[in-house]
Structure 1
Amino acid sequence: MIEHLDLRVNGARLHVARTGHGRPLVLLHGWPEFWLTWEPVMTRLAGRFQLIAPDLRGFGDSDKPDGPFGAPEHAVDMLALLDGLGLGQVGLVGHDIGGGVMQALARLAPARLTGLFFFDFMYPGVGPRMATPDRLSEIWYTSFHLTDLAPALVGASPETIRIYVTHFLRHWAFRPETFDDVLEAFVANFQKPGNVAGGFAAYRATATSRLAMMKGEAPALPPILLPTCVRWAEHDPLFPYAWTDRLGETFPDLDLALFPGVGHFPHREDPDHASAEIAAFFGA
């Protein structure tokens, strides 16, 4: 059974879904998601791990930020959450925006982490490739989310939210039916007050750093030395597998492999395979 907690940490109320027993793993979602994206993995691993899936600030039933709120800020939230839950060391699992939070947390408090498990995500080695002409039709939303129009237009009605969220959940998945069984829950989630703008706050926070990366001017960051596993989707229209070529520069202790037959959401598209890979990496 999955239990739901509300904890006040770092000046905000964060909602957390938790189940299982054993070594703790924290599961960090991307956009347009919230804790529920991890439910299939949580149910499969509950007999071997304690699974903790927070709604990042701005998402789900967690408090909303007052303005831009990016990976460094989320990392401080997550560190406070570990303290609030009385957890010493945890493994991290995530993708998309959650992958950015993982990198920030690994630099903020590496001693609190036993390892990092990523599905598709952005990292410094992607560099200017993100903005090459053939990618513009995929990354348009990252600029749209910076505008004042975005929350007003997307959040104009329940139907506009449904159209927008459904587009990404189906377009980014190689198996477009992946979210059909929970689509109403995802749409209802983004209809809650503040959740459209709350999700966009992550994009607003990274606008400057994303532009610097696209221009090849991002500052060099030290490598993250924690044991790292990356399972990158074969058919992600957003993050091509070719972008894994420089992962070793950021993660020297790297276990990288292709995740076949899935798109941007491996954890949801093939939860049996995803759960097996997570368990193998964290030693269960």
Structure 2
Amino acid sequence: MPFARTNGIRLHYTEKGEGEPLVLLMGLGADGSAWEENARAYEPHFRCIRIDNRGTGESDKPEGPYTTKMMAADALGLLDALGIRRAHFSGISMGGAIAQEVALAAPERMLSLTLNCSWASCDVYTRAIFETLAAGYAALAADEFQKLLQLIIYTPAYHEHHDDLLEAARRQASSSASPMPAHAFRAQCDACVSHRTQGRLGAIGVPTLITAGDRDIFTPLALSQAIAEEIGHAELAVFEGSGHTHHWDRLDDFNNRTLAFLLRHKEGSSR
């Protein structure tokens, strides 16, 4: 399995596809494999690099604290290890927070930026969700925690029509041979709470797409709208009737919109 030494840890990543590099950063508690259904659409056009953020998957899981700046440095160190000068970045939720810090720390390394259901700073409500998830992860059985998480990230309509899929995910969580350690999950939650790029995002000059579901109760639409206001040139795509998981429950639409954006902003393309 491919690993790289970066920023003091061993970082696991996978890559598939050819073309300009596209770094895919996943959200809280999930590893790079969660990108599978999206990456499948990108791989015919891009060299997709999926990262297991520190604390998840096969990457090292050191004690905290973690910050989104730290995880951005992890990703930039991986680019150095792979000899990649510039790349497109797309991040989901916490992955979008990490991608913001990459864009601010090393704008010369970024070709385009896609931020999905992300935030520039937590409001009181979203901070309370992260704190509740951190406490729940430590206290609940794996399937019960998965149920709590599902109630937050999927809409009521999705629950109504896909209860079998949600139940299968709960069973899979309870049977995992190597669950994410509680200390690492807590450290990622703390990184989400402490993330703050508000007031700095106006410095981002690369082409930017922001996506959000209008029924997201985890990172509500207003948080994505605030990012779009700061990055004045950013495009905002709102998925009506969808929640925090619009990238999955509106899979084809999400893949088509995000791929079209990426293709428009390849280095050799005519805008």
Partner of 1:168: 149
Q: Select 2:187's aligned residue among 201, 217, 232.
A: 201
Mapping for residues 93-242 of structure 1, pairs under 5 Å: 93-124=90-121, 130-131=123-124, 135=125, 139-144=127-132, 152-154=138-140, 160-174=141-155, 175-176=158-159, 177=162, 184-186=171-173, 192=178, 195-205=181-191, 207=193, 209=194, 220-221=199-200, 223=202, 224-242=204-222
1:278 and 2:266 equivalent?
A: no
CA drift of 1:6 comes to 1.9
Give the counterpart letter for 1:201 in structure 2.
A
Residues in 1 aligned to 2:237 and 2:17: alpha-carbon distance in whole angstroms: 27
User: Structure 1 length normalisation: TM-score?
Assistant: 0.80
**Given the alignment, which residue of 76, 82, 91 partners 1:85?**
82
In 1: Cα distance, 2:39 partner to 2:52 partner: 15
Count of residues in Structure 1 that have an aligned counterpart in Structure 2: 257
Q: 1:143 to 1:182 in 2, by over 3 A?
A: closer
How far 1:220 moved relative to its partner?
A: 3.5
| 220 and 231 in structure 1: CA distance in 2 versus 1, 3 angstrom threshold | closer
Contact in 2 for aligned 1:27/1:52 (Cα 8 Å): yes
Aligned residue type for 1:62: S
Deviation of 1:221 after TM superposition, in Å, equals 2.5
Which sits farther off after the overlay, 65-74 or 260-269?
A: 260-269
Listed as ranges, the gaps of 5+ residues in structure 2 are 265-271
Distance 1:267 1:244 in 2: 15
Deviations 1:50-79 (A, max 9, x none): 111111001111101221101010011000
Contact 2:68 2:97 in 1 (8 A): yes
**C-alpha displacement of 1:173:** 1.4
Match of 1:269 in 2: 249
Matched with 1:252 is: 232
Select which of 53, 59, 62 maps to 2:59: 62
Contact 2:93 2:117 in 1 (8 A): yes
Bigger mean CA deviation after superposition, 102-111 or 235-244: 235-244
Contact residue 92 and residue 117 of structure 2 kept, 8 A = yes
Alpha-carbon distance, 1:143 to partner: 2.5
**Cα offset for 1:117?**
0.6
1:26 maps to 2:23: yes
Asked if structure 2 preserves the Cα contact closer than 8 Å seen for 1:32 and 1:169, the reply is: no
Deviation at 1:239, TM superposition (A): 2.3
Instruction: Report the RMSD for the aligned CA atoms in angstroms.
Output: 2.7
**Aligned mates of 2:152, 2:192 — CA distance in 1:** 23
Cα 1:243–1:205 change in 2 (3 A) is closer
User: Is 1:35 matched up with 2:40?
Assistant: no
- Distance in 1 between the 2:32 and 2:106 partners? 23
Distance in 2, Cα, partners of 1:261 & 1:193: 32
Which one is further off, 175-184 or 18-27?
A: 175-184
- Aligned runs of 1:6-17 on 2, under 5 Å? 6-17=3-14
1:244 is displaced (CA, Å) by 3.7
Give the 3 Å change call, closer, same or farther, for CA 242–206 of structure 1 in structure 2.
Answer: closer
Sequence identity, in percent?
26
Q: Secondary structure at the match of 1:84?
A: helix
Helix, strand or coil for the counterpart of 2:263? Answer: coil
Following the alignment from structure 1 to structure 2, what is the Cα–Cα distance between the partners of residues 168 and 219?
26
Aligned equivalents of 1:268, 1:152: Cα separation in 2: 26
Q: Structure 1's 73 and 187: CA in aligned 2 closer, same or farther, altered over 3 A?
A: farther
- Aligned pair in 2 of structure 1 residues 152, 170: CA closer, same or farther (>3 Å)? closer
Query: Quick one: distance in 1 between partners of 2:242 and 2:133?
Result: 26
Question: Hey, which bits of structure 1, 4+ residues long, moved more than 6 A?
Answer: none
TM-score (norm 2): 0.83
SS of the aligned residue for 1:122 comes to coil
Which range is displaced more, 270-279 or 197-206? 197-206
